[in-house]
Each structure stands twice: as C-alpha cells, then as structure tokens.
Amino acid sequence: MRKGIRVVRGPDWNYDNHDGGEGGVGTVVEVPGDPGFTLPGKFVMVRWDVGEKHLYRIGEGDAYDLFIFNNATAGVSHILPCDGCSDNLVEGLRWKCTRCGDYNLCSTCYMSDKHDLTHEFLRFDSRRSEGFPIPSRSSSQDQRVKSRGIFTGAKVCRGANWMWDNQFGMFTLSTTCISEKERLILNHPIAHPCNCATDFYCQMRYL
C-alpha cells in the first residue's frame, strides 16, 4: 500500500470511531520503509480526515483493517478512457464490466451508478494488477455507506500540521466539537463558518 492512498475502514476493523464513524475517509501517511517507521510487520499509518492518526493492519496476522477508497491520490492511472464520463484516462481504481466487453468506469462513475446495476465488474487497483471480481451493485444497495471526509464543498479547519499562524482567525485544535454551552462560555463567534454547535467535524476552539 502506497503513501497518499485514500482508505476507509475494512473487514477486520475494531477501532470504534477513529475514522469519525462509518464512511469516514483517511489518507495513508506512513508505510514500511519510511525513515523512522520501525514497526515490524504489515502495518501502515493513517491520518483520518477528522484528525485522528493511528496504525492499522494490512495483512498482519491475516487481518485487514482498511479498504482502498481511492488510489488516484497516489498517482495511479490507467491508459484507458472512462466510458461513463469520457475522461481520457481512468485515474485511480478501474472498474471493468464483465458482460460488456471493453467497458470501463472510473470510481466516480461506478459509485454514481453509471451503467447497468445488475452487471458484475472487475476492479483493477493498478495497471498491472489482476482484476478482483465485484458483485453487481444491485445486490448490495442496502449495504451502501455514504463517504464522509474532505471533499469539494466540505467545511474544513486547520489540521495537525498547520504552519500558517492565524491566517484565518484565532483558532486552535481541540479533540471534540464544542457544544452550544461551551461556545457561549468561550465566547465563540456565532458567525464562524464551521457552525461548531452542530458540526461534528469541526475540531476548533476559539481562543
């Protein structure tokens, strides 16, 4: 597994809500071989979009804590167009229909239910990987989970590696979102765009 790959909780997940809850997305930030990464075995370090950072198993003891959500962020692409949106290159995971010859989808189109939902697909993690058989999407509609994290339109706040002083106001990290009562005690500005009184993902306190 490469650094930069986006992941979600996998089949052997047993870590409560490190990821902010089911559907939470994170990024692999450390892998075996990195300087300072001395833990033996098959582990990677993940920084979740909600701020948590922890180690997870990727085959250690035959356990897999993570699923790949998107590997385009690690530079993976395929020399094939997406037949759903006509992009010149499929970036990240490639989804190939098993019934329709050379019909390929990018992850965005596959997850957006492009093409026949009753058709099975093969998932290709890289150009050289073998296709992994995936059941039809129609057979798993009741198992779908909405992804949550830093996407277009998301409200964000400064993270653990922030280096830009008070560029966007006097705020600092906290472990949990403050309640309405805490907001009043701390004189948190009502107009602050994160809407801390209700926004689960906000992790800032007003100084």
Whole-number pLDDT of residue 150:
84
How confident is the model over 48-60, as pLDDT tens digits?
999 899 999 999 9
For the whole model, what pTM was predicted? 0.71
Residues in the chain: 207
How confident is the model over 128-144, as pLDDT tens digits?
899 999 999 998 877 78
DSSP string for residues in 6-41: EEEE-TT--STTTTSSTTB-EEEEE-TTSTT----S
State how far the Cα of 46 lies from the Cα of 48, in Å rounded to an integer.
6
Whole-number pLDDT of residue 104:
96
Half-sphere exposure of 96 (CA within 13 A, CB side): 17
| Chain centre to alpha carbon of residue 121 | 22
Whole-number pLDDT of residue 181:
37
List for the chain the helix, strand, coil content (%; round to 5): 10, 25, 65
Residue 51 near residue 203 (C-beta atoms within 8 A): yes
Which strand (E) or helix (H) includes residue 44?
Answer: strand 43-48
Which strand (E) or helix (H) includes residue 181?
Answer: helix 180-185
Whole-number pLDDT of residue 168:
59
Alpha-carbon dihedral angle through residues 145, 148, 151, 157, given to the nearest 10 degrees: 180
Q: Give me the residue spans of the domains in the chain.
A: 1-74+145-193, 76-139
State how far the Cα of 116 lies from the Cα of 83, in Å rounded to an integer.
13
| Fold match flag (1-74+145-193 vs 76-139) | no
Residues in the chain predicted with pLDDT less than 70, given as ranges, are 40, 168-207
Whole-number pLDDT of residue 172:
42
CB atoms within 10 A of CB 126: 15
Topology of domain 76-139 in CATH is Wheat Germ Agglutinin (Isolectin 2); domain 1 (3.30.60)
Whole-number pLDDT of residue 37:
81
Topology of domain 1-74+145-193 in CATH is SH3 type barrels. (2.30.30)
* Residue showing tokens 């075996």: 32
